[in-house]
């Protein structure tokens, strides 16, 4: 598990040093650093050789070095550092050479990541696929259950699970097993959790391998199957997120951008619960969100005594207008699901709006 992230002169941060946990929820004002944290992690994960970090790859493209460098950097040092299972790893440069990709720093004391350090990961970006009549498939996809950054392989993964339902299952006491699901099958639990987004939904994923396409169909209590384009947008948008949280194994990393997109508040809360359940099961989750319902859903799992308080952190990003730079607050959760602090601007807009509606000014 990644327990610490340090950024030096990276994008909007002159310096960031944050302790991480099982469930890490990133929230706050737009343009203050949430995406920088996500991008820093994805930069490392997407690099084919962990001896160096590639700024442009299949998952994200930063651009050139000037796009990475903090605009008011006061030193020549640029670094991204992680602590994983007690070992420190750093990439960057200490002189003004501006190399790209970023090499490993201090090779004598820092090791490059190997294939066993991070078992596997899923990254579902904010710009994922919505409803489609059909989606191209990749029969040569080398990574088991890889969903693609846009969720483009979700149909393919779900179809594979339906063809071999007993091949991959959750463990006996996995927290992600849904209360209404009487088995450990991944597909059945994906569908059960999707039922929290839209009650009684069922999903059929079909591949047409000769045409290299796949498609999803949805049905409800009436058993009539509907094309993805003829049901709610949120179902397709949520499906890859739910699937990522279910198919990931203990020790894996799941990175989510805006898991609440296109969901009713009830569905957003349930998504937060599933994130917490995944973290409870040993998956490390990073989620960037603007939804208080997602945060509250995760807090409920702590309140019920399932996820331990120290296994969840909320990192709130804002802007220091005096110093003209991004800042962040670490909000811890106690046994009652209460947050350790409530900074100005942290999900307080409803209270402000209600005050204006009541007082009229």
Q: Any idea which of 177-181, 248-252, 338-342 has the lowest mean pLDDT? A: 338-342
Domain endpoint, select from 201, 233, 267: 267
- Rounded to whole angstroms, how far apart are CA atoms 178 and 158? 17
Share of the chain above pLDDT 70, in %: 93
Domain-located, residue 275: no
Residues 352 and 240 in one domain: no
In a domain, 317, yes or no: yes
The predicted pLDDT at position 108 comes to: 47
The domain total for the chain is 2
Residue 189 and residue 104 share a domain: no
Q: Does 204 have pLDDT greater than 90? A: yes
Asked whether residue 3 carries a pLDDT value surpassing 50, the answer given is yes
> In this structure, which long-range contacts are made by residues 313-316, counting pairs with CB atoms below 8 Å and at least 24 apart in sequence?
313/19, 313/20, 313/21, 313/23, 313/24, 313/25, 314/25, 314/27, 314/339, 315/18, 315/24, 315/25, 315/26, 315/27, 315/28, 315/37, 316/27, 316/28, 316/343, 316/346
Least confident of 71-85, 146-160, 172-186: 71-85
Task: Report pLDDT for 1.
Answer: 92
Query: Phi then psi for 323, rounded to 5 degrees?
Result: -85, -5
Q: 140 and 260, same structural domain?
A: yes
| Measured distance CA(128)–CA(135) in Å, rounded | 12
Whether 108 and 133 share a structural domain: no
In which band, very low, low, confident or very high, does the pLDDT at 205 lie, cut at 50, 70 and 90?
very high
% of the chain at pLDDT higher than 90: 61
Q: Are residues 142 and 219 in the same domain?
A: yes
111 pLDDT exceeds 90? no
Q: Which pLDDT tens digit goes with each residue over 84-103?
A: 988 888 898 877 677 778 88
Task: Write down which residue in 205, 233, 267 finishes a domain.
Answer: 267
Same domain, 151 and 32: no
pLDDT at position 109 is 44
pLDDT given for residue 186 in this prediction: 95
Whether residue 241 is contained in a domain is answered as yes
Q: Is there a single domain that holds both residue 100 and residue 143?
A: no
Domain edge (last residue) among 267, 299, 316 = 267
Assigned domain for 154 exists: yes
**Which structural domain range is residue 29 located in?**
1-118+290-361
Is residue 336 in some structural domain?
Answer: yes
For residue 329, pLDDT over 60 is answered with yes
Q: What is the pTM of this model?
A: 0.92
- Asked if 85 and 147 sit in the same domain, the reply is no
What is the domain-level CATH number for residue 350? 3.40.50
- The model's confidence at residue 142, banded by pLDDT at 50, 70 and 90, is low
CA angle 293, 295, 317 (to 5 degrees): 115
Residue 278 within a domain: no
Question: 92 and 152, same structural domain?
Answer: no
Q: Residue 110: pLDDT above 60?
A: no
Lowest mean pLDDT among 6-20, 53-67, 73-87, 340-354: 340-354
Tell me, yes or no, whether 114 and 133 share the same domain.
no
The band of 351, judged by pLDDT with boundaries at 50, 70 and 90, is confident
221 and 324 part of one domain: no
Q: What is the mean pLDDT of residues 165-175?
A: 86
The pLDDT tens digits of the residues spanning 55-82 come to: 898 899 999 888 898 888 888 888 999 9
Domain membership of residue 285 (yes or no) is no
Looking at the structure, do residues 297 and 256 belong to the same domain, yes or no? no
Would residue 284 count as lying in a domain? Answer: no
pLDDT of res. 140: 67
Name the residue with higher pLDDT: 273 or 233. 273
What is the enclosing helix (H) or strand (E) of 38?
helix 34-46
Mean pLDDT over each residue of the chain, to the nearest integer: 89
3-class DSSP state of 206: strand
């Amino acid at each position: 598990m990644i327990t610490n992230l340090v950024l030096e002169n990276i994008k909007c941060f002159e310096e960031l040093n944050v302790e991480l946990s099982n469930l890490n929820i990133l929230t706050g004002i737009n343009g203050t650093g949430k995406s920088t944290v996500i991008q820093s992690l994805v930069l490392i994960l997407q690099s084919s050789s962990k001896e160096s970090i590639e700024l442009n790859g299949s998952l994200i493209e930063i651009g050139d070095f000037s796009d990475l460098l903090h605009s008011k950097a006061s030193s020549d040092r640029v670094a991204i550092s992680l602590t994983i299972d007690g070992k420190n790893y750093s990439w960057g440069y200490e002189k003004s050479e501006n190399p790209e990709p970023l090499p490993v720093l201090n090779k004598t004391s820092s090791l490059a990541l190997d294939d066993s350090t991070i078992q596997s990961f899923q990254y579902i970006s904010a710009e994922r696929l919505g409803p489609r009549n059909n989606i191209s498939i990749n029969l040569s996809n080398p990574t088991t259950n890889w969903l693609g950054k846009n969720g483009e392989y979700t149909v393919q993964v779900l179809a594979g699970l339906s063809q071999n339902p007993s091949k991959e299952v959750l463990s006996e006491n996995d927290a992600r097993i849904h209360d209404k699901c009487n088995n450990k099958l991944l597909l059945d639990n994906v569908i059960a959790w999707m039922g929290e987004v839209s009650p009684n939904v069922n999903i059929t994923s079909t591949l047409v391998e000769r045409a290299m396409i796949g498609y999803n169909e949805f049905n409800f209590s009436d058993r009539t199957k509907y094309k993805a384009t003829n049901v709610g947008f949120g179902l397709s948008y949520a499906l890859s997120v739910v699937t990522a949280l279910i198919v990931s194994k203990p020790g894996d990393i799941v990175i989510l951008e805006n898991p609440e997109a296109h969901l009713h508040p009830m569905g957003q809360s349930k998504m937060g619960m599933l994130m917490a359940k995944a973290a409870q099961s040993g998956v490390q989750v990073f989620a960037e969100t603007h939804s208080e319902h997602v945060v509250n859903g995760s807090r409920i799992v702590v309140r019920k005594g399932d996820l331990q308080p120290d296994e969840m952190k909320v990192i709130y990003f804002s802007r220091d207008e005096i110093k003209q730079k991004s800042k962040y607050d670490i909000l811890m959760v106690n046994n009652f699901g209460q947050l350790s602090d409530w900074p100005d601007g942290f999900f307080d807009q409803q209270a402000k709006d209600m005050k204006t509606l009541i007082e009229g000014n």
